[in-house]
Each structure stands twice: as C-alpha cells, then as structure tokens.
C-alpha cells in the first residue's frame, strides 16, 4: 500500500509498505479522508523521531474485521480516535483521561496519511465511532479536533452570555468560535494576523474581529460594555500571546491554554495581580476523551457545528507536500483534507 512518510515538512515521500495484518480483536480501515492538523506541521515536536507516518484526523470504511470483533462489520463507515485512555487509572477516574499513560502510548498503525490503517484492539474497544448516513467522511475528520475544542470549553465551564476572546483564528480558533456561539456565549471576538482568517471568522459568526497586534484592553472593552473577556482562549503560539491574554481577561475570568507554544516558552506572572487581586484562573486542555468525541460527533451530525464550510482544500496523497505547505504558510487556506 502507499504511505506518506514524513521526514520534515518539505520532505514527505510516498513509499510502499506492506498492508497491515490484523489480529483477532482488530480492524483494518480504508482511509477515505484525513485532515492535516496544525500539530502535524510542528517540526520541533517530532523531528528527532522522523521518519514517521503522521495523520490522526481520519475517517473511512472497514474492509477487514478480526474474528473476535463484535459490533462492527465490513462496509461500516467509521471514524477512529488515535489515542485512547485506559479508563481505570487515577487520572481517568479523576476526569483527566487525556493525561492517562495509556493514551500517550496508543496510536494507529501506521498513521492516517496512508491508504489503510490497522486499528489495534484497544482502539477498537474504545475509539471507533460509527458514522450516520448523513455525515460525509470529510466532515467526520473534524470529530477529533472538535472533541479537543469541546473538552477545553467544558473544562472552563463556559456559560451562555459570557464574553469570549479567541487569540488566533486558525482552524482550532474557528472551531472554538463556532462552539462558543453554539453554547450561547457572547460576544465572541477573535484575533489573527491574517486578514483572510479574520474574514472567515466574521463569516462564521464572530461579533467582532481584530488584528492581533491591535487588540488592546480599551478596544475590547468598547465591544463588551466596558468589560474585558470572561474567557480568553489561546489558539496561537506566537511570542507575546500569553501576556496579551493576561491583559485582556476580566477579573474572575479564565485563560485557557489550548495551542502549543514555542518549545522554550516560559511564563513570568505578576502573581499578586493575577491571582490575589484579580482572581484569574489559568487552565490548560489537551486532546479529548471518549465522551468528548461522542459529543463532537453529535454536534456535527445535528448541524449545530457546520464543519463542511471550513474545508478549503482537498488533495490527493501524492500532493501531500503541497498540503503541508498550505498549512505551514497559513495563507488562503483553512482546512486541508487528504483523499488517499
């Protein structure tokens, strides 16, 4: 089978590998669509482990089922989660499934940017979701990223009527925008350095959009009845974005750290001002649990979150270098879908 092997963002080679052989509790899935995630292009995060087969936002059709697999059959349309938790450890039982050691060790074989993937038994048991007939494979690739977004907003306890500022209007920022609106938040305001992305944010329902370097406390207050943001979501890893977030969050508000920062990023905090006087909460969120995936799937299925309009590019496996270039450059592109 053909596999896209990543050596770096500019060197992704289409190579031949043997078709994965499945065990009695495993599934072989033909990949029909795979999204390129912003984390896929973070070279610093994985360059020391190259070569790799990346891709985790996947959907496809079951083409082979292990003899002991129950509940699935050939021809079923599914999406699958690449990381799954044990559901029995201290972290899982405390509601922190995404820092479970099992979740950190599970994955597809070989990865989503290929023609076929083997779903290990543990993924089959707790990381496969059957797709409704009205959901396309392309839309299903958004279940995983939306699950991550939903978990973040669930952890901060976003309530209707709360004001939200999203720093960064890439695909994760835009998903946060759509979800915050669906949950009744408002106003919801986004920032970015790109006019193209800000135009997309306005089209997707943002109450206002600001250029990243122009979003000051006074400007935000002018759009929010004289108050700063109840929730600031960091969806950009640019230098200075953390200090900007702290300057824009209201007393008693929350800053959600969602995007990865630069590998050497550190925070210098005025502790008394942030915590003692202003009661600001700092929270982080990584990945999504099984329940978050199920909720994300339902949000997309019912049309509460329209993801189809976010797809800007559909390319073949042979063109994957072009796809990575589109994501890295972040020009006039939002979501790139690979069609193996």
pLDDT score at 264? 85
Q: Are residues 13 and 134 in the same domain?
A: yes
Q: Residue 53: which CATH number?
A: 3.90.180.10
Q: What is the chain's mean pLDDT, rounded?
A: 97
Of all residues in the chain, what percent carry a pLDDT higher than 70? Answer: 100
pLDDT score at 266? 85
Q: Residue 182: which CATH number?
A: 3.40.50.720
Q: Are residues 109 and 214 in the same domain?
A: no
User: Residue 302: inside a domain, yes or no?
Assistant: no
pTM of the model: 0.97
pLDDT in tens, 281-298: 999 999 999 999 999 999
Q: Are residues 17 and 137 in the same domain?
A: yes
Neighbours of 256 (CB within 10 A): 25
Neighbours of 58 (CB within 10 A): 30
Tell me the chain's radius of gyration from C-alpha atoms.
Answer: 20
pLDDT score at 268? 85
pLDDT in tens, 94-140: 999 999 999 999 999 999 999 999 999 999 999 999 999 999 999 99
If one counts the domains in the chain, the total is 2
Structural domain containing residue 245: 149-284
Mean pLDDT of 60-68: 98
The Cα–Cα gap between 5 and 53 comes to 5
Beta bridge partners of 65: 27
Mean pLDDT of 12-19: 97
CA angle 183, 175, 154 (to 5 degrees): 45
Q: Are residues 177 and 131 in the same domain?
A: no
User: Residue 299: inside a domain, yes or no?
Assistant: no
pLDDT score at 238? 86
Q: Are residues 15 and 87 in the same domain?
A: yes
pLDDT in tens, 237-278: 888 999 999 999 999 999 999 999 888 888 888 999 999 999
Q: Are residues 46 and 118 in the same domain?
A: yes
Mean pLDDT of 2-21: 97
Beta bridge partners of 30: 61, 116
Q: Are residues 98 and 175 in the same domain?
A: no
Q: What is the 3-state secondary structure (H, E, C) of 258-279?
A: CCCCCCCCCCCCCHHHHHHHCC
Q: Are residues 75 and 186 in the same domain?
A: no
**DSSP structure class, residue 52:** B
Q: Are residues 15 and 135 in the same domain?
A: yes
Q: Are residues 68 and 154 in the same domain?
A: no
């Amino acid at each position: 089978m053909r596999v896209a092997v990543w050596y770096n963002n500019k060197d992704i080679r289409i190579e031949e590998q043997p078709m994965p052989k499945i065990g009695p509790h495993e599934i072989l899935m033909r990949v029909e669509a795979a999204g390129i995630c912003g984390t896929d292009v973070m070279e610093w995060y994985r360059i020391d482990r190259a070569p790799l087969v990346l891709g985790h936002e996947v959907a496809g059709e079951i083409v082979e089922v292990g003899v002991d697999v129950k509940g699935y059959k050939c021809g079923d349309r599914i999406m699958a989660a690449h990381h799954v938790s044990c559901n029995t450890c201290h972290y899982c039982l405390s509601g922190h499934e995404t820092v479970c050691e099992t979740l950190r060790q599970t994955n597809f074989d070989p990865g989503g940017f290929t023609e076929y993937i083997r779903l290990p038994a543990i993924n089959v048991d707790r990381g496969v979701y059957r797709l409704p007939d009205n959901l396309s494979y392309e839309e299903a690739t958004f279940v995983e990223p939306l699950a991550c977004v939903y978990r973040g907003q669930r952890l901060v306890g976003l309530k209707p009527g709360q004001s939200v500022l999203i720093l960064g209007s890439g695909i994760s920022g835009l998903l946060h925008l759509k979800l915050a609106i669906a949950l009744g938040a408002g106003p919801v305001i986004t920032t970015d350095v790109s006019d193209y992305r800000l135009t997309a944010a306005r089209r997707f329902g943002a109450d206002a959009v600001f250029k990243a370097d122009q979003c000051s406390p006074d400007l935000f207050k002018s759009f929010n009845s004289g108050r700063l943001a109840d929730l600031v979501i960091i969806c950009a890893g640019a230098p200075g974005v953390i200090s900007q977030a702290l300057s824009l969050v209201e007393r008693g508000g929350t800053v959600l750290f969602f995007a990865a920062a630069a590998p050497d990023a550190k925070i210098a905090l005025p502790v008394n001002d942030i915590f003692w006087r202003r009661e600001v909460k700092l929270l982080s969120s990584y990945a999504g649990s099984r329940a978050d995936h199920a909720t994300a799937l339902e949000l997309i299925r019912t049309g509460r979150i329209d993801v189809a309009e976010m797809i800007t590019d559909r390319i073949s496996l042979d063109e994957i270098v072009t796809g990575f270039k589109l994501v890295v450059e972040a020009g006039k592109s939002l979501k790139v879908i690979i069609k193996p």
